[in-house]
Structure 1
Amino acid sequence: MQPAIDPAVEQERLKTLVEDIVAEASRQGASACEVGASSDAGLSASVRLGEVETVEFNQDKGFGITVYFGQRKGSASTTDSSPDAIRATVEAACDIARYTSEDDCAGLADKALMATEFPDLDLYHPWGIDTEEAINLARECEAAARESSPLITNSDGATVNTHQGCRVYGNSHGFIGTQASSRHSVSCVVIAQKGDEMQRDYWYTVARDGNLLDRMVDVGRTAAERTIRRLGGQKLKTCKVPVLFSAELAGGVIGNLMAGISGGNLYRQSSFLLDHLGKKIFPEWVHIHEKPLLKGGMGSGAFDGDGLQTYAKDFITDGVLANYLLSTYSGRKLGMKSTANAGGARNLFIESNAGDQAALLKQMGTGLLLTELIGHGVNIVTGDYSRGAAGFWVENGEIQYPVSEVTIAGNLKDMFMQLQAVGNDVDRRGNIQTGSLLIDGMTVAGN
């Protein structure tokens, strides 16, 4: 059985330790202190070709301590919660702070902005499976993939993961915030072969509650179907065509937007969206917003990394950039208020304006459906976008054949403005929830 965490007991233990650390920092002369504490436990079981590959248990805890001497800052961390280790870690942070230069923007968030409401966000659902059950689930998933077609000739395995943990943040304002959460997943990777050609693909499911995961059989079969349909891949001649980012890839495009409006990139003047607040950067129908207090959401939280109360907000309204993504520190650097986004956006949504992927293929007519992106060719400073890719060539709204070894290229500013449609085939497995994205006029480089 995986190591268990009693969330109520563990949160009280961590709260006490955080309060002790803040008090210790004060005793050592710090004018302010903030502490992030965590305690996690989990189980992972992998099988390959029906045989057990790995079984891993993990149980971790850690404390990140930041102290301030006026506006001089020092940080240190430890996994040891003994009194001697805590004192030594606080001392190390204080020594660093004493010798760093002053930063006018350093310091805790304003006390008046600390979170005061902590609704139950339904994030904690431990999955009571033991090792044998996890192995059997992984075997069931992989077997479904391997048995679905004789073209599935090999496997990289199936993995079952279950995780639960507690987080506590506290500071010398007297603020203490706690959150218990769980996350469970199952994934499968298989290999298909036809003649001398081999292809690999995967599928996975993830949920806060293990009972809400997709069926093992469905995960395995989907992995097999995705792998088989890649056989017979062809190259393309270089062209400029519409590109449809499948839902599982579309979140990355929205993630590039968030990187462009993040306070850290903005105050360093290293963003292609510098000075774009209040300007139109998408078509008028586009609406992108976050819901941090969504029950059961993969990104939900009542307070951000600075202890501020989170709240729902728009980032794109009627195509216009309505808010930056700011922590307390980055807000001060920009002369603006925090948007309670220390740690990033929480449960980000882009509203759909079209049907499912099949409907978007019809709308696209001729172009490229993307199912895989390779590499990290995104320049957030300039917005230049260039990624290796694979997918399917589409004509008359119908998939014609698989495509491999191509590169798609454009600029994020142009891509945002040329967004034609957002599908209702929303991928709900992550913090960014979006359907497929149809973007016009991208360069596809091939032969």
Structure 2
Amino acid sequence: MTHALPDLAQQLLDAAKAAGADAADTLVTEGFQTSVDVRDAKLEEAQRAEGVDFGLRVIIGTRQAVVSSMDARPDTIRAMAERAVAMAREAPEDPSVGLADPSLLATEVPDLDLADDAGDPSPDVLRDMALAAEAAARGVDGITKTDSAGAGASRRHIHLAGTNGLSAGYERTSRSLSVVAIAGTGTAMERDWAFDGRTHLSDLDPPEEIGRLAAERTLARRAPRRPRTGTYPVLYDERVAAGLIGHLVAAINGMMIARGSSWAKDLMGASVLPDGLSLTERPLRPRVTGSRPLDAEGLATREAPLVEDGVLGRWVLDLSTARRLGLKSTGNAARGTSTPPSPSVTNLHLTAGTANRDDLIAQMGTGLLVTSLIGSTINPNTGDYSRGASGIWYEKGAPVHAVSEVTIAGNLRDMLRTIVPANDARSYASHVVPSLLVPSMTIAGE
């Protein structure tokens, strides 16, 4: 690190107090990000960004303001603190604003092995990974070219501090590899992708596997047709199923509940998933991209169910939304350097089913396996759901043809209450959600 982050954080807090803030907190990050893209077996682009980034939140009474900068010179820090205080004095009052009581702060930062100690991959290593993935995709019969292949690596040191005594930090890394493959030409051109992202390079899937998977997915999309409009079962493939669960998570976010603008606002203690299914947040999983040892307000994170045996058990809360609702924070605060804290989930785990995906396809009979979703029209108040979809059409459990440019629609209350999970979730993913069968949805085709 170029900067001693705890010292920089303290400078920011001291400047805020000197400028007239009643209280303040700060998020300071420092690190780098490198990305390499190749095309047609040649290097297309390489980028690297590094530096320090920090945000300062100041509080005056029940008013707050946030400013951010990448310039750590003392004069800049003093000026930004003065600007933040001036902004806070003009901000609207909000009784929910405030730092955590010192008694609520995490007393330790558990080591979740989020930083790769094996060293950071060089641009040459990233380039070779991308080239190998692209070559594997192009080596599959039927693939005409690749749109892109890329690899990336990053490392971040993160430190949180506040005038309430908060001072804690940790380090995390990220490594990723992706390929987009293309089959066909002209108006018959189809494309699909494969991606893997981990905290440690050694955990990444081999480039050859990622390239092959992108090719197989692309070839399955050739010669698409639209089925007849009607009501059918819809099976969400594992790679898009987490998005369906994500709509439930968004609906129980404390901001939505506090505003009274969620279709789930009256469902606390009610069934939102089938009996026997639980949705659990697991923020402390080692070597997982979504893990975090403490939240953005310095509270300890912990494993806890959101839904247990089908019944909704809690909202997703930070301090502000908890105060608005007369509840306690669930340790779900997240923030960027230019924004105040807001509620956000970490890792999720949905109860797996007993059947594999092929079993659910057989159970589906005639219907749509969704492998890609585009756009969305989700009514947050009613849960009405409509999305563009692509995938594979099945009849009597057998694949018939690819599908594109159809719309699938339903209501999230009904959809989520009837889902049938498979057992094919990736155990290493941040959101461990298997393929999900929705027994009845409207498909707008021909």
Q: Give me the TM-score of the superposition, normalised by structure 1.
A: 0.95
Q: Deviations over 1:121-153 (max 9, x none)?
A: 00000653222222122111101111111x211
Worse overlay, 244-253 or 117-126: 117-126
Query: Whole-Å Cα distance in 1 between the matches of residues 88 and 129 of structure 2?
Result: 50
Residue 3 of structure 1 corresponds to which residue in structure 2? none
Query: Whole-Å Cα distance in 2 between the matches of residues 122 and 245 of structure 1?
Result: 32
Matches within 5 A, 1:119-134: 119-125=110-116, 127-134=119-126
Q: Deviations over 1:22-79 (max 9, x none)?
A: 1221122211101011112021111111111100011132111111112121211111
Residue 272 of structure 1 corresponds to which residue in structure 2? 263
> Partner letter of residue 131 of structure 2?
R
Residue 319 of structure 1 corresponds to which residue in structure 2? 310
Does structure 2 retain, via aligned residues, the 8 Å contact 1:298–1:429?
no
Does structure 2 retain, via aligned residues, the 8 Å contact 1:206–1:429?
no
Q: Deviations over 1:268-297 (max 9, x none)?
A: 111111121111111111100011111112
The equivalent position to 1:305 in structure 2, one of 249, 272, 296, is 296
Query: Whole-Å Cα distance in 1 between the matches of residues 245 and 40 of structure 2?
Result: 37
SS in 2 for 1:385: strand
Query: Whole-Å Cα distance in 2 between the matches of residues 53 and 196 of structure 1?
Result: 26
SS in 1 for 2:184: strand
Residue 193 of structure 1 corresponds to which residue in structure 2? 184
Task: Tell me whether 1:221 sits opposite 2:220 in the alignment.
Answer: no
Does structure 1 retain, via aligned residues, the 8 Å contact 2:288–2:428?
no
Deviation at 1:381, TM superposition (A): 2.2
Task: Tell me whether 1:75 sits opposite 2:66 in the alignment.
Answer: yes
Matches within 5 A, 1:229-308: 229-308=220-299
Query: Whole-Å Cα distance in 2 between the matches of residues 433 and 269 of structure 1?
Result: 29
Residue 415 of structure 1 corresponds to which residue in structure 2? 415
Residue 172 of structure 1 corresponds to which residue in structure 2? 163
Q: Deviations over 1:410-437 (max 9, x none)?
A: 1111111121x21221135643221101
Task: Tell me whether 1:353 sits opposite 2:344 in the alignment.
Answer: no
The equivalent position to 1:143 in structure 2, one of 126, 135, 138, is 135
Matches within 5 A, 1:320-339: 320-339=311-330
SS in 1 for 2:266: coil
Query: Whole-Å Cα distance in 1 between the matches of residues 185 and 53 of structure 2?
Result: 49
Query: Whole-Å Cα distance in 1 between the matches of residues 220 and 254 of structure 2?
Result: 42
Deviation at 1:196, TM superposition (A): 5.8
Query: Whole-Å Cα distance in 2 between the matches of residues 115 and 128 of structure 1?
Result: 30
The equivalent position to 2:193 in structure 1, one of 202, 207, 219, is 202
> Partner letter of residue 136 of structure 2?
A
Distance 1:332 1:196, change over 3 A: closer
SS in 1 for 2:377: coil
Distance 1:192 1:35, change over 3 A: same
Does structure 1 retain, via aligned residues, the 8 Å contact 2:198–2:288?
no
SS in 2 for 1:336: coil
SS in 1 for 2:10: helix
> Partner letter of residue 333 of structure 2?
A
Does structure 2 retain, via aligned residues, the 8 Å contact 1:315–1:324?
yes
Residue 45 of structure 2 corresponds to which residue in structure 1? 54
Does structure 2 retain, via aligned residues, the 8 Å contact 1:256–1:380?
no
Query: Whole-Å Cα distance in 1 between the matches of residues 100 and 190 of structure 2?
Result: 51
Worse overlay, 129-138 or 117-126: 129-138
SS in 2 for 1:90: helix
% identity of equivalent residues: 36
Task: Tell me whether 1:26 sits opposite 2:17 in the alignment.
Answer: yes
Deviation at 1:194, TM superposition (A): 6.8
Does structure 2 retain, via aligned residues, the 8 Å contact 1:205–1:429?
no
Does structure 1 retain, via aligned residues, the 8 Å contact 2:129–2:151?
yes
Distance 1:87 1:430, change over 3 A: farther
Deviation at 1:364, TM superposition (A): 1.9
Distance 1:85 1:131, change over 3 A: same
Task: Tell me whether 1:98 sits opposite 2:89 in the alignment.
Answer: yes
Task: Tell me whether 1:424 sits opposite 2:415 in the alignment.
Answer: no
> Partner letter of residue 365 of structure 2?
G
Query: Whole-Å Cα distance in 2 between the matches of residues 184 and 381 of structure 1?
Result: 38
Residue 339 of structure 2 corresponds to which residue in structure 1? none
Query: Whole-Å Cα distance in 1 between the matches of residues 286 and 120 of structure 2?
Result: 21
Q: Deviations over 1:292-312 (max 9, x none)?
A: 111112111121111111111
Residue 374 of structure 1 corresponds to which residue in structure 2? 374
Query: Whole-Å Cα distance in 1 between the matches of residues 93 and 204 of structure 2?
Result: 49
Query: Whole-Å Cα distance in 2 between the matches of residues 429 and 198 of structure 1?
Result: 33
SS in 2 for 1:92: helix
SS in 1 for 2:160: strand
Unpaired stretches in structure 1, ≥5 consecutive residues: 1-5
Query: Whole-Å Cα distance in 2 between the matches of residues 308 and 367 of structure 1?
Result: 46
Deviation at 1:195, TM superposition (A): 8.8
Q: Give me the TM-score of the superposition, normalised by structure 2.
A: 0.95
SS in 2 for 1:112: helix
Residue 337 of structure 2 corresponds to which residue in structure 1? none
Q: Deviations over 1:205-258 (max 9, x none)?
A: 111110111111111111111101111211111111111100110111111111
Unpaired stretches in structure 2, ≥5 consecutive residues: 335-343
SS in 2 for 1:377: strand
Residue 440 of structure 1 corresponds to which residue in structure 2? 439
Distance 1:231 1:19, change over 3 A: same
Distance 1:195 1:124, change over 3 A: closer
Distance 1:26 1:436, change over 3 A: same
Residue 88 of structure 1 corresponds to which residue in structure 2? 79
